[in-house]
Structure 1
Amino acid sequence: MGLDISWLGVLLAALATFVVGGLWYSVLFAKVWQREAGVTDEQLKRGTVRVFVGSFLLGLVMAVVLAAFIGDGGAGFGALAGLAAGAAWVAAALGINYLFERRSLTLFAINASYNVVAFTAMGAIIGALQ
């Protein structure tokens, strides 16, 4: 069985996590997320390169695995697969961690919904380009 992966799709999907994240954690939910996560303005100024490089590399890993899962299913299947992965795997796993860590429902909602939207976008992009 051979895997035909669109590396352009993978790259664009990884970049999409930055677009969604930029909107999510700055425009839409910045102050609420910061308060709920206990992150100060000073903390956000340190380690920025490590955070962005690491996030992009992890985005690539997510996109490659999602691409292998989607195959040649098309944009519709890709979006549905991304939605399922974001909601049923990532958000559910975060929910388990957040329950044991006694983290707030608000923080869970912000972080989990980011992953649902990001994975859905990644899946649609990958599906359209494979």
Structure 2
Amino acid sequence: MDFSSINWLAVVVASVSAFIVGGLWYGPLFGKAWMAEMGFTEDDLKNANMAKIYGTAFVLEFIIALQLAYFLGHGNTDPSVGQGAAYGLHIGLFFIAAAMGVNALFSRTSLKLWFINAFYFVILLTLMGVILTVM
């Protein structure tokens, strides 16, 4: 893999966007529903090792953004913002959400929980695709 054409600042910004989207998604938008579906209480969340969770999440989101940047730059093309959004949307919907759907079926989790978790990534990857092509 040739990472020489990667815009590293864009990858970092796309990675940080995961925390902004996640803060909204798992906060005011779907936070209470997600907690209920997971069976978590406020105390459960307060007693978690947040440094480990956020630190590891950032590394994983960075890997996602880096690979999306690689895919967008593959073939020595200069993708448009629309192409970046479309790549992110398709990867989010047809890879991540579909795979999480299979997992949800076998794990016997609710459709609601699948929607909350899977569509976070659909929205996030679409946004990352835009960020990576704008910068």
1:103 alignment partner in structure 2: 109
- For 2:89 and 2:83, the matched residues in 1 are separated by 10
1:17 alignment partner in structure 2: 18
- Can you give the 5+ residue segments of structure 1 that lack an aligned partner in the other structure? none
Residue by residue over 1:62-115, the C-alpha shift from the partner in whole angstroms, topping out at 9 and shown as x without a partner, is: 000000001131321111100001100100000000000000000011111111
1:59 alignment partner in structure 2: 61
Amino acid at match of 1:124: V
2:13 counterpart of 1:7: no
2:44 counterpart of 1:43: yes
- Further displaced range: 4-13 or 38-47: 38-47
Selected match of 2:82 from 53, 76, 84: 76
Q: TM-score, normalised by structure 2?
A: 0.91
- % identical equivalent positions: 43
- For 2:45 and 2:61, the matched residues in 1 are separated by 20
1:127 alignment partner in structure 2: 133
Deviation at 1:40, TM superposition (A): 2.0
Q: TM-score, normalised by structure 1?
A: 0.95
Q: Which runs of 4+ in 1 moved over 3 A?
A: none
Amino acid at match of 2:115: A
Deviation at 1:2, TM superposition (A): 4.4
Higher RCO (CA < 8 A, seq sep 6+): 1
Deviation at 1:15, TM superposition (A): 0.6
Amino acid at match of 1:92: A
- Further displaced range: 26-35 or 2-11: 2-11
- Can you give the 5+ residue segments of structure 2 that lack an aligned partner in the other structure? none
Residue by residue over 1:33-81, the C-alpha shift from the partner in whole angstroms, topping out at 9 and shown as x without a partner, is: 0000122212211211111111111010000000000113132111110
- Further displaced range: 32-41 or 79-88: 32-41
